[in-house]
Amino acid sequence: MAKLTEFYLVLVAGVLSIFLTVTLSENLQLVYQWTQLSSSSKNDPSQNVLFSASTAAVGENEFNAYGNLPMGVTHHKGFLYVTIPRRRPGIPATLNVIDMSRNPSVNNPTLDPYPNLLVNTLRNDFSADSKRIVSVYRTQVDRCDRLWFVDTGYLEYPGDAGRQVQRPALWVIDLTINRSVRRFEIPPEMVEFGYGIPNIEVDVADYDCGRAYAYLPDYEWRRLYVYSLTEDRMWRFEHNYFSFEPRYGDFNVAGQQFTWYDGIFSVAVGGRWENSATERTVYLHAMASVSEIAVSNRVLQNETLAQLGNGVYGRAFNHLGARGPNTQSSSHAYDPQTGTLFYAEVNRNAIGCWNTRTQFSPENHGIVHLDNEEMIYPADLRIDSTGDLWVISNRLPIWIYSELNRTDVNYRIWRQSASRAIAGTICA
Ligand SMILES: *[C@@H]1O[C@H](CO)[C@@H](O)[C@H](O)[C@H]1NC(C)=O
Ligand SMILES: *[C@@H]1O[C@H](CO)[C@@H](O)[C@H](O)[C@H]1NC(C)=O
Ligand SMILES: *[C@@H]1O[C@H](CO)[C@@H](O)[C@H](O)[C@H]1NC(C)=O
């Protein structure tokens, strides 16, 4: 009898735990964290090694720990590509990699310049060099093992020190050989300066790695640039929907109140249409906005249409509606397995979701993670090829408008599978 009761108890417990794992949404898991980035200076070998030894003695001024604010994160096969835009002097490398197998501890993983230090090093006289990368905000890896990003070519140093070193350029690096396979200089007819291009989304055909497009939002000029890998050409779209929304420009993040005017900031390629091999919905939004816009990738990929002007293509952009209060978002990304869009919601320290199989409305938007201490300013969000969500939070508004506490943890990298993240939310 006792045996039997025990059996039933175990059974009940087992059923309960299955029930719990299925229904409770799991928070994002912390993967890495830093207080400040540091350099492994030879003078002080006891210091945390964040950039490996060879980067300590770079030319441009001293290493500036506070200026090294990590912004973007993309995961691919055990490597994390982490960007540090050059907004202060003293940044040894704007594009970096963390080899996860060599960094088992959560604290202070080592960043190595990617693809190497030289490509990341500014020339002493700040002269242009098409072999080097000046400043990168965010990256994307496609299903063909290629890393895509825009080098803005611009040093956003404070005061009068800012300068354009070279034309902005789109780079494609083949991660299997660590070599650049394409560099496309964005022509002046597209845009005068590159500093408004904070993000990138890649749209690759299912069976043809050659047939790939990159979508580049420009928050400053409120334009969307489209690049075709096959044609090696770029064109652009303009639309009122790319602008900020005046009522949603006020932010309140960790005690900092500020007003932003940033327009189109993130683009996410959604699911394939039922009766088409290549047609997909592309989602996009401005930063100072709570609206989401949808357009077919067929429209974006049509250069003729782009040249005909907004009067012709304007109606192809569809205003889906508002996501809800305080849902202003930096990056968003689409998970094909669950059909869910995930948003990095900078104005409420959260990761939000919407299952695209449901009607677009605030009620159908959920929160998968919210933390007013540890998730302050999720600056980037990506989904890797295995369906894992990756997020970096960096407290950017405190860095800009106040001062980071240099002994507190400021930068964090998070991970969760998309399906676990939405479990128990409205998006499941
Ligand atoms: C590419 O770079 C990564 C990270 O630095 C390195 O681990 C890998 O061995 C490199 N692969 C090749 C083929 O050089
Ligand atoms: C591109 O758009 C133009 C103008 O609407 C149209 O005539 C043409 O068929 C489109 N091309 C493709 C490949 O859809
Ligand atoms: C800074 O962070 C440390 C570590 O969390 C904490 O002990 C300290 O009180 C903080 N300082 C201020 C001024 O908030």
Residue nearest to atom 5 of ligand 3 (CA): 408
Q: What would the two tokens of residue 75 be?
A: 């995961």
Q: What is the pLDDT of residues 172-214, one digit of tens each?
A: 999 999 999 999 999 999 999 999 999 999 999 988 999 999 9
173 C-alpha to ligand 1 centroid (Å)? 12
Count of Cβ atoms closer than 10 Å to residue 265 Cβ: 27
254 C-alpha to ligand 3 centroid (Å)? 15
For the chain, the structural domain boundaries read 29-40+50-422
If phi > 0 it is left, if psi is from -120 to 50 it is alpha, else beta; for residue 40 that is beta
- Rounded Cα–Cα distance for residues 345 and 319 (Å): 19
Residue-level pLDDT at 62: 85
Q: What would the two tokens of residue 178 be?
A: 């660590």
pTM above the 0.75 mark?
yes
Residue-level pLDDT at 43: 43
Q: Alpha helices of 250-316 — where are they, by DSSP H? A: 297-300, 303-308, 310-313
Residue-level pLDDT at 348: 97
Residue 305 beta carbon below 6 angstroms from any ligand 2 atom: yes
- Rounded Cα–Cα distance for residues 104 and 93 (Å): 22
Residue-level pLDDT at 44: 44
CA 178 vs. chain centroid, Å, equals: 21
For the CA of 405, the nearest atom of ligand 3: 1
Residue-level pLDDT at 427: 98
Residue-level pLDDT at 24: 52
CB 73 within 8 A of CB 82: yes
Pairing of strands 233-238, 223-228: antiparallel
Residue nearest to atom 4 of ligand 2 (CA): 305
Residue nearest to atom 3 of ligand 2 (CA): 305
- Rounded Cα–Cα distance for residues 339 and 364 (Å): 13
Q: What would the two tokens of residue 42 be?
A: 């030879």
Best residue among 101, 175, 178, 181 to mutate for probing ligand 1, ranked by most atoms within 8 Å of CB: 178
Torsion of CA 252, 258, 263, 267, to 10 degrees: -40
Residue 364 beta carbon below 6 angstroms from any ligand 2 atom: no
316 C-alpha to ligand 2 centroid (Å)? 13
Which ligand is closest in space to the CA of residue 298?
2
Residue-level pLDDT at 369: 97
CATH assignment of 29-40+50-422? Answer: 2.120.10.30
178 C-alpha to ligand 1 centroid (Å)? 6
Residue 405 beta carbon below 6 angstroms from any ligand 3 atom: yes
Q: What is the pLDDT of residues 129-159, one digit of tens each?
A: 999 999 999 999 999 999 999 999 999 999 8
- Extract the runs of DSSP E, i.e. beta strands, from 61-123: 72-76, 79-83, 95-99, 112-113
Residue-level pLDDT at 47: 41
Residue nearest to atom 13 of ligand 3 (CA): 405
- 97 strand-pairing partners: 81, 112
Best residue among 226, 228, 237, 305 to mutate for probing ligand 2, ranked by most atoms within 8 Å of CB: 305
Listed as ranges, residues in the chain with pLDDT below 50 are: 1-23, 41-49, 53-59
